[in-house]
Amino acid sequence: MFRVTTLSSINPPIKTLKNGEEDAIDYSKFDKIAEKYYEEILNYFMTSENDEFNDIKILIAKKLKGQTASFKSIILAKPEQIEYWIEQINTNLDLDKKQKAFKSFNRFFKKFENFGFNNLNKRDLVLEIKKICKENGWKLDNEIGKTIRRIHGAKKYPLFSLSFYNLFTISNTQKIDWEKDFFGKETNLTVSGQLEGETFAMALGQIYTFGPTFRAENSNTSRHLAEFWMIEPEVAFNDLNDNMDLAEDFIQFVIKYTMDKCPEDLKFLESRLVEEEKSKPQAERSEMNLLEKLNFVLENNFKRVSYTEAIDILRESSPNKKKKFSYIINEWGADLQSEHERYLVEKHFKCPVILFDYPANIKAFYMRLNEDGKTVRAMDILFPGIGEIVGGSQREERYDVLVEKMKVLGIDEEELWWYLDTRRFGSAVHSGFGLGFERLVLFVTGMTNIRDVIPFPRTPQNAEF
């Protein structure tokens, strides 16, 4: 069953510490957020025309030993109530119906886990909770996928349960005196030098930055590093189309230069890749060898496709209809995963792809809002074998629009006063992008793990050097 609840109804709640002692957090401050999600989930289930959810609707309507269980009561149920209902379902439903019901719940669990339904998504949730935490001096740590077993114990936690606020650990940091910290204020590492780059572009016209950046997400994959190097051009008077032209020309130039200057090295790397591929199942082997893949990028114009068109293609694709994607595409607004990006490049278009005009609520605040009010002038370049290799956008140059977006997202205007000043007194259309250097090296060399293309890889749970 599913359980979406506030921490105050969990026994025991997540513990927070202050001076070595337990310190209670006032979770009632999050109740309004919870109610929005309760309504959204209930509405999603009861109005869905998806046959997969019929078993769930039947369970809601059925009397289990004389007790009627509404879906909302299931959502708000405490652990002992959940366990009682599971016991009744196990007793009253035959095995076939039971398996169908739990299968439906499991599909919904995956959908909820990724916040992919209707207009509410993980980004909205995180931003709202971050805002409340900041106002109260609390620290927020992402705990998705880690806490159900910790709260309930390995044997006792409810089947298919999901604790609403167990998605995060909230700690009391009110006692930290940031004025005594090294910088005299709370300071964090950054994943980009873009905002600073924009100030230079407004003064000098065309600039780029190239330096280390830091990824906060817990992305422990063969394509991610916690610390990596980023090339970030920023150009005044470039709109999104100019930005796409620049990124495409830049990548093709670098690849051609490498092929012209290092042919023997590339032949060696190609031989290495061939030997590595022999150890893989046929289905996991690359369709192209290394040099074919590099020529593939040089000889094909990058296909430019709107996000909306890409969603339509993915929704109607065979792997989506056959449920072979790990993340099923059901509706507009989904955040694309690597499997979707690679399908578009490798299977559908069979050439590098530039996706543009993404939904505003899955992209950053500084991207220019389109006239439809729903999408922004964002772009991602997708490559075979990797997925996204470049991300960029036309920046929001309109002061009033930028300020309004920051207010909606809870971004402190005082913290970014210097960034707003590049618009406050007049600005110009400008655009830029970020190219992860190690991902480019990964693609050009044919290596399969990004940790092999940087001397001292730093990744989640690993900072040995």
pLDDT in tens, the chain (465 residues): 233 333 223 222 333 334 444 455 666 666 666 556 555 555 555 566 666 555 555 555 543 334 444 444 554 555 455 555 556 555 655 555 555 544 544 444 444 444 444 444 555 666 777 777 777 777 766 544 343 333 333 333 333 333 343 445 666 656 667 788 888 887 888 888 999 999 999 999 999 999 999 887 777 888 889 999 999 999 999 999 999 999 999 999 999 999 999 999 999 999 999 998 888 888 777 778 899 999 989 998 899 999 999 999 999 999 999 999 988 998 898 889 889 999 999 899 989 999 999 999 889 999 999 999 999 999 999 998 888 999 999 999 999 999 999 988 888 899 899 999 999 999 999 999 999 999 999 999 999 899 999 999 998 888 888
SS3 content of the chain, % helix, strand, coil (to 5): 45, 15, 35
For residue 57, the Cα-to-chain-centroid distance in whole angstroms is 31
**Cα angle for residues 437, 409, 14 (degrees, 5° grid):** 90
Distance CA 431, CA 401 (A): 16
Extract the tokens encoding 258: 């490498």
> How far from 422 is each of 298, 378, 404, 428, 458, CA to CA, in Å?
37, 20, 16, 9, 34
Extract the tokens encoding 69: 């269980």
Residues whose CB is less than 8 angstroms from the CB of residue 277 and which lie 6 or more positions away in sequence, other chains included:
285, 286
The whole-model pTM stands at 0.69
